[in-house]
Each structure stands twice: as structure tokens, then as C-alpha cells.
């Protein structure tokens, strides 16, 4: 919902297999960012960036060679790149996956081409032209150097500490994002709050880095504005559930249903500064929210959400009962090819049940995300 852009050049996700079996720890992305330095300076790459893949550091040939003072020639007809320096030559034949050295030795080599850039393992280039290499895990960074380098290893590290620190922080955040993105989405929703149980729910969600959607009642929102602000601050979606939660009142007419949602939306906006567009009608849309009602809400810009995993936490007598019912409903939703939208409530049993549920979902390879306005709602009238 609602890192620097310099790391967004890597776009590789590893999808987890297995819907219900415990999932292995999310695999690391196939390609990960790395800093590259020549002599005493970090090299700047304007578009394609260096990356590590299967233990090899690949660099864009053109800009890496420029930094090393190696001349680069391109033979468009033959589709070859020729590198020259101090009487040494390297010919790169990308199409054939071949690299021809000065003495005529031919090496078969993976030669990635990305957005018009030819990439090679940096060691292949550096060692061919007589450079030494050094790896700095603090970056991580790969440095190539010759007798022209002025900085010792420790001096180089000290000189670039701030760059290393910033890069590592952003790289770690990017890796965590990729790890999260590799998991299957599951949408946890809570109805009827906020109330005295909501803070505990938020604490548990925060502990597990889980995000949720809270369908709140306007009176409760006004009563607990700090909890509404906390929901927003911690990355959850604040949505509307109406005012009265009374069947005969809310469904008295389409006008009344719309009035309740408008009242709720106004209450939330007065706290967060944002008007919710996601709503859930009391007791779900079917059979009560007939087309006349849904048309009134849709016409006002609201997006109506139901659920496909009912925990029935409100009627359960124990956390075990909630867990058993939820596991069964989740399996059925996945069997239908549906992304799970879990219905829960801000109550005591939910507070007791949630830790085990969150841990179980995490181990099964799910990530808990909030709903958002860009998504197609799960609406009973479309699915039942």
C-alpha cells in the first residue's frame, strides 16, 4: 500500500510452491545488487547495474571498461565487442556465448544482454587485463585495482563507509521486499472496531509484520481516534462498516445504507484526512444488499467487500475452534482458485486466536496484505 529508485533495476521474484504445506524460507532473489569500484572510486552506472548471480558478479562492459581505461569497440556487422588495453585484447561474441582472449583462447561464457547492455563477470575482465580483485562484505562491494591505486584496503573502506552504509541499508530493504513479494497474498479483515481489543490485535500484527483491513463503525472510530490513526500509520487499510450494524436500520432503504456509509466515511476522514472507499455491509452483502442497494453504494464511489474465509470468531468458544474452522475454509478458498479474504472481528477470541493463525499462515508461505481500491472486490453476488 499506501527504495530509492536506484535499486529497482533488479526485477526477479522466486515464487513459493505448495498451497497448504509448510513453506520453506523464501528463497533469495536470483540476482542481487552489489557496488563495484575501480582503483579508489566507486563506479557509477547510469542504467543497467552490477549484480551477483550464482556467485558471480556481472558488470555492464561499457562503463566498467571505461572506468578501467580500456577501449571499447563495437562491430555491428559481426555483433562483437572488442576490449583493448596495453597490448591485450578481449573479443566478446554475445550471440555465441564466446569470449576470445589475447592468446586466442576461447572461453564459453554466459553473456547477459539487458536493455542493450552487454554484461560479463568482472573477474573475467579484470584478470585478463592484469588487475587484482577484492571483495568487501560491508557493501557488499567488488573492487578491482592495480599499482595505480592509492588507498589501502582499510583506507578504501573508511573512505567509502557512508556509501557502503547507505547502499547496504537500501539493499537489505529491497531484499526484504522481494522476500515478501515472493509469498502468496492473504487478506485479513476485522469488523466492528475499534474497541478495547483492537490495540492487542494491532500489536500482534506489528510483531509479525502483517497488514490488515479494518472495517470500522463510525461511533467506534470517534471513540478511539488514536487507534484509527495507528492503523493508518502502521500501513493498514481503514474501511467502513456503517453506523448502527442493525439489520432493519441499515437495510431500511438504499438511501439509509448510503447515509450510514457516508457518515462512517466522514468520521474516518475527520481523523485520518482520507475518505475510505472500501466498505463492507453488515452481515455481508447477500442476501440483504440487493442490486438497488449495491447500485447506490457503487454510484457513490464505494467498493463493496465480502469474504471467502469465515472464521466465525464471534460465535466460537475457543481459539482451537477458530483455528480449525479457518484452516478448512482457507483450503476451500484456495481450491476454488480464490485469494483468501479472511473475516474476523475485534473481540476476545480473536485476540487469543490471532498469534497462532498469523504464525501458521506465515509458515504456509502467505504474506498478510491490506485490501486496496485498485483490487477487484470479492463480492458475494459475483461468486455465489
Q: What is the pLDDT of residues 226-253, one digit of tens each?
A: 999 999 999 999 999 999 999 999 999 9
Look at residues 32, 61, 31 and name the one whose alpha carbon lies nearest to residue 45.
61
pLDDT computed for residue 31 by the predictor: 84
Q: What is the pLDDT of residue 28?
A: 54
Write the DSSP symbol of residue 313: G
Q: Which of 50, 67, 68, 48 is nearest to 59 (CA)?
A: 50
- Measure the CA–CA gap between 330 and 341, rounded to whole angstroms: 9
Span 12-32, pLDDT tens digits = 322 223 333 344 444 556 789
- The reply to whether the predicted model has a pTM over 0.85 is no
Domains in the chain, CATH or no CATH each = 5-172 (3.30.457.10), 185-383 (3.20.20.370)
Q: Which cell numbers in the block locate residue 203?
A: 500489536
Give the pLDDT confidence score for residue 10 in this predicted structure: 32
Q: What is the pLDDT of residue 336?
A: 95
> Going by C-beta distance under 8 Å and a sequence separation of 6 or more, which residues neighbour residue 11?
none
Question: Which portions of the chain are predicted below pLDDT 70?
Answer: 1-29
What is the rounded CA–CA span in Å between residue 369 and residue 184?
10
pLDDT value of position 109? 84
Q: What is the pLDDT of residue 351?
A: 98
C-alpha cell at 269: 476522514
Residue 23: predicted pLDDT:
42
Instruction: Supply the pLDDT for residue 289.
Output: 98
Q: Alpha-carbon distance 160 to 41, whole Å? A: 9
- Which residues are marked as active site? 191, 345
Cell numbers 505448495 correspond to: 18
| Among the listed residues 362, 339, 332, the one whose alpha carbon sits nearest the alpha carbon of residue 26 | 362
The predicted pLDDT at position 294 comes to 98
Amino acid at each position: 500500500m499506501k527504495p530509492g529508485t536506484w535499486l529497482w533495476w533488479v526485477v526477479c521474484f522466486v515464487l513459493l510452491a505448495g498451497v497448504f504445506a509448510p513453506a520453506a524460507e523464501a528463497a533469495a532473489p536470483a540476482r542481487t545488487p552489489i557496488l563495484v569500484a575501480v582503483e579508489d572510486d566507486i563506479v557509477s552506472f547510469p542504467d543497467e547495474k552490477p549484480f551477483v548471480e550464482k556467485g558471480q558478479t556481472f558488470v555492464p562492459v561499457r562503463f566498467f571498461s571505461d572506468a578501467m581505461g580500456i577501449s571499447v569497440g563495437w562491430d555491428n556487422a559481426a555483433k562483437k565487442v572488442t576490449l583493448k588495453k596495453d597490448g591485450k585484447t578481449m573479443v566478446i561474441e554475445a550471440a555465441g556465448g564466446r569470449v576470445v582472449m589475447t592468446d586466442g583462447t576461447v572461453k564459453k561464457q554466459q553473456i547477459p544482454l539487458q536493455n542493450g547492455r552487454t554484461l560479463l563477470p568482472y573477474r573475467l575482465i579484470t584478470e585478463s587485463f592484469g588487475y587484482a580483485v577484492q571483495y568487501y562484505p560491508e557493501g557488499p562491494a567488488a573492487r578491482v585495482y592495480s599499482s595505480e591505486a592509492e588507498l589501502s584496503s582499510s583506507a578504501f573502506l573508511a573512505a567509502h563507509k557512508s556509501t557502503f552504509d547507505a547502499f547496504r541499508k537500501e539493499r537489505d530493504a529491497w531484499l526484504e521486499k522481494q522476500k515478501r513479494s515472493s509469498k502468496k497474498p492473504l487478506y485479513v479483515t476485522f469488523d466492528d472496531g475499534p474497541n478495547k481489543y483492537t490495540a492487542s490485535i494491532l500489536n500482534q500484527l506489528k510483531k509479525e509484520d502483517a497488514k490488515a483491513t479494518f472495517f470500522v463503525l463510525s461511533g467506534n472510530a470517534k471513540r478511539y481516534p488514536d487507534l484509527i490513526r495507528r492503523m493508518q500509520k502502521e500501513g493498514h487499510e481503514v474501511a467502513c462498516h456503517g453506523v448502527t450494524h442493525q439489520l432493519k436500520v441499515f437495510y431500511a432503504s438504499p438511501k439509509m445504507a448510503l447515509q450510514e456509509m457516508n457518515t462512517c466515511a466522514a468520521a474516518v476522514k475527520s481523523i485520518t484526512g482520507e475518505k475510505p472507499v472500501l466498505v463492507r455491509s453488515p452481515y455481508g452483502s447477500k442476501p440483504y444488499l440487493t442490486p438497488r442497494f449495491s447500485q447506490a453504494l457503487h454510484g457513490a464511489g464505494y467498493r463493496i467487500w465480502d469474504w471467502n474465509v469465515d472464521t466465525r470468531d464471534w460465535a466460537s468458544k475457543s481459539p482451537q475452534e477458530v483455528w480449525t474452522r479457518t484452516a478448512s475454509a482457507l483450503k476451500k478458498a484456495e481450491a476454488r482458485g480464490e485469494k483468501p479474504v479472511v473475516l474476523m472481528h475485534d473481540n476476545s477470541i480473536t485476540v487469543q486466536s490471532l498469534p497462532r493463525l498469523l504464525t501458521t499462515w506465515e509458515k504456509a508461505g502467505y504474506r498478510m496484505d491490506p485490501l486496496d481500491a485498485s483490487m477487484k472486490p470479492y463480492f458475494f453476488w459475483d461468486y455465489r
